[in-house]
Amino acid sequence: AIVRLTRHRYLPNFSAEVCIVTTNISTLSQSHSELVGLLNSQHPVQFAAEQPIKTATKLKYANVVLLDVTGWEQFPTDLLRKQFNDNPCHFINARFIVLVTRSWFFDDRSSAVKFFDDQGIVNYAILPTPAKASDLDEDIFLFTQNRSSKEELAVRLNDLDHLQRLYPNKLANMHAFYIRFASDRNNYPYIIELLEKGRFDGIILWLLFHIFYNILNLRITMHLVEPSDDFDADVYFQMSVQRDHFQHEFYFHQMGGMCVSCPLKTDRYFLPHIFKPFSFGACVCLALVFVACIVLKRFFPNMFRYELILQALFRGGGAEHYQPFPARIIHTSLSFLMLLLCRRYVSKMISLMSLQMFYQLPSTISEFKASGYKFLVYEDQQHNLPLDDFRFMMLGEDEVQDGRAQYGALVHKHYCMMQQCSDAAFLLSPYFHENLKQFYTIQEPIIPSPYRLQFAKNSPLAGTISRYISLYYETGLWQYLLTRHYATQLRKAQSADALAEVVFYFDDFKIVWLMVVYGWLISVAVLIMEMLSKKMK
């Protein structure tokens, strides 16, 4: 009857699969020889092995466990702990039926309760087994206890209508039970320790506050620990340990890992914009005007006495009123066209120069490869991280030593460097607003690694909390928390008088000065060549 109870809707494997855990001194085969055969005829049944079974297929766990400890005067805690640690056959939230002797049930029941609490098993019912099947009477009770509230529940064996009371959802209300949350470092913006020691903030804590306090009635204590510390926590953030059983990991959609931070290139470089200010259509229009000027001058030399290109494009040549009427009409039309093009050109240049940031920064790793940045990677990072695709960008050993000798601790302001994504985000947070003018971080990780939670091996909360976090993703509440955080991060004080800010700098005209100087040099060179050619004649 207990095996056939209605399954809880959140437990895996809705069909009842039974695992039988027994010992060598069990008396079950003598007192109730037909029980195993009855279960085997109605449900898939497997026996727990004492040694781990090495197989290439995934282990199949049961959702109902018949734990046979009959024949023992004391609960075999050490034996069962080794069995459950080395070769478990059950889900962490499986339904346990514990068969014990009557004398032990009344004298030492607390040892079994403590064992199940340590193993994270919350769905269990302890049944005192009579010596013979014929000895069943109405006074036999099944016992269970709530792990967090310590409430004891007892149901008569013959009360079939209330047997489901033995397996309530004990995780729906944790009765202000405290759990320990640990992380090995600050992971901005998910977990960060405030200036006041012992106080923390972050998106993960906002999320867990909603789930723990408002839904599960849990309490949480935060700890920053070293990976080498022997600290036993219930939930770990970014501290994963590989296990043979009960990995209990939840992966967030956001990616962390290693990110690249680069110094800001703020040189206002206008040369490409000056030499390519127009679209293809505008260039075709200018070419047609140039060809039309040449054709008109060649076929109508008497009408166009001066160089038409110089007059139309560069405002050079003689006075317009000395020219014939048709020439003045064409000259006026070309001047009007040049007026529109020149004003358009000047307005574009002025608007470009008035922008505080018009240069493009690489936002992806592909753009970073083509950016021309120098990449400073330390020797241990080169050996331990997969960076073969970036060898052509890396500084050599001599360049690294020269850079550290020349710039010292400020070397990151001259070369791109690699660091944890959380550290990079923290350095560009409002806590260090002056860094926003010095360097920036490429949002795409160079070595991605998802953020994750890992629950304790015997934690009954793993499935419940993972399910609630998944619901937060599905309902958009997680995205709301991220959006709210980034909105506060990007909020900046507005300037009191934006028009009072400096728009043009002397360096902004560096390209203009270079073009003027180069033009003078070219003109002098042409003049010298003309003078030399005349002397040679």
pLDDT band at 110 (very low <50, low <70, confident <90, very high): confident
Predicted pLDDT of residue 9: 41
pLDDT confidence of 278, banded at 50, 70, 90? low
pLDDT exceeds cutoff 60 at 503: no
Structure tokens at 218: 């849990």
Place of tokens 């607003």: 433
Winning range, highest mean pLDDT, from 201-205, 264-268, 322-326, 405-409: 201-205
- Please work out, in degrees rounded to the nearest 5, the angle formed at the alpha carbon of residue 112 by the alpha carbons of 109 and 114: 110
Could you give the count of Cα atoms lying within 13 Å of 344 in the half-sphere of its Cβ?
A: 10
360-395 pLDDT, tens per residue? 678 888 888 888 788 888 888 888 888 888 888 888
Determine contact, residues 103/73, Cβ cutoff 8 Å: yes
Measured between alpha carbons, how far is 98 from 266 in angstroms, rounded to an integer?
Answer: 72
Confidence band (pLDDT; 50, 70, 90) for 499? very low
Is the pLDDT at 529 greater than 80? The verdict is yes
Report CA-CA distances (Å) from 23 to 78, 106, 437, 477: 13, 21, 70, 49
Distance CA 276, CA 235 (A): 58
Pick 455 or 318 by higher pLDDT: 455
CA dist., res. 455 & res. 249, Å (int): 6
Confidence category of residue 492, pLDDT binned at 50, 70, 90: very low
Q: What pLDDT is recorded for position 38?
A: 67
% pLDDT > 90, the chain: 3
pLDDT of residue 42: 62
Section 114-130 average pLDDT:
88
Q: Which helix (H) or strand (E) holds 518?
A: helix 510-536
Number of Cα atoms under 13 Å in the Cβ half of residue 357: 7
Residues, the chain: 537
Looking up tokens 């070397």, which residue turns up? 411
- pLDDT per residue as tens digits for the range 334-345: 777 777 777 777
Nearest partner of 39 among 1, 95, 94, judged by Cα: 1
- CB proximity list for 370: less than 8 A, separation 6 or greater: 362
Q: Which residues pair with 450 in a beta bridge?
A: 255
Answer whether residue 182 shows pLDDT above 80. yes
Residue 14, pLDDT score: 46
Q: Angle at the Cα of 298 (from 296 to 304), degrees rounded to 5?
A: 55
Helix (H) or strand (E) holding 453: strand 447-455
> How many other CB atoms are found less than 10 A from the CB of residue 294?
12
pLDDT at 2 over 60: no
In angstroms, the CA 490 to CA 434 distance is: 14
Bridge partner list, 125: 97
pLDDT band at 10 (very low <50, low <70, confident <90, very high): very low
Average pLDDT, stretch 510-534? Answer: 80
Over 70: is that where the pLDDT of 500 sits? no
The answer to whether 65 and 19 are in contact (CB under 8 A) is yes
pLDDT of 304: 72
Looking at residue 8, its pLDDT comes to 45
pLDDT band of 272, cuts 50, 70, 90? low
Q: What is the pLDDT of residue 439?
A: 76
Cα 398 to chain center, whole Å?
35
Give residue 23's pLDDT: 84
Strand, helix or coil for residue 108: coil
Per the structure block, which two tokens stand in for 182? 């640990």
What is the C-alpha separation between 208 and 477, in angstroms, rounded? 12
Q: Which of 223-227, 314-318, 413-417 has the lowest mean pLDDT?
A: 314-318
Whether 324 shows a pLDDT value over 80: the answer reads: no
In the DSSP assignment, the letter for residue 394 is B
Question: What tokens were used for 198?
Answer: 């012992």
Would strands 375-376 and 416-420 be described as parallel, antiparallel, or unpaired? parallel
Please write the tens of the pLDDT for every residue from 130-168: 766 555 555 778 888 988 888 888 888 777 667 777 788
DSSP assigned state of 17: -
Residues 6 or more apart from 125 whose CB is under 8 A from it?
2, 96, 97, 98, 142, 143, 144, 166, 167
pTM here is: 0.68
pLDDT tens sequence across 295-321? 877 887 777 766 777 666 665 555 555
Structure confidence at residue 51 (pLDDT): 52
Tokens of 195: 């200036």
**What does the pLDDT read at residue 496?**
43
